[in-house]
Structure 1
């Protein structure tokens, strides 16, 4: 996996606060996003479009095993 690759969010992390953070991750489930950055076992996705904003307005860091390359 590299920056620019498109991935599908196939799972959300089990340990998330039960607030807007969890809601954002849930809205990303089954959607496709380009990889914005990589750091260790984490992938950064710009996900603004999941909340009807420009992509760059929101980003998440998610474990690599929660996404799959498409």
Structure 2
């Protein structure tokens, strides 16, 4: 996973794609649906995986396993 450093600017990393992923997750979507929704922003499916990994680690999204869809976690 690329993180911002001397070689890579913020806009070249998965961190810059997180707002776009969260924007389309108003309803549960599969990873392919997310990719098609914001495909122009992403450099490919690998960037989506990195962004989803970050969001999952932060507790912002969860997987609905029986449906294979991703949804935002509710804020308490």
TM beyond 0.5: no
Relative contact order higher in (CA < 8 Å, ≥ 6 apart) = 1
Give the TM-score normalised by the residue count of structure 1: 0.32
Q: Which has the larger radius of gyration?
A: 2
| Higher strand fraction (1 or 2) | 1
| Higher helix fraction (1 or 2) | 2
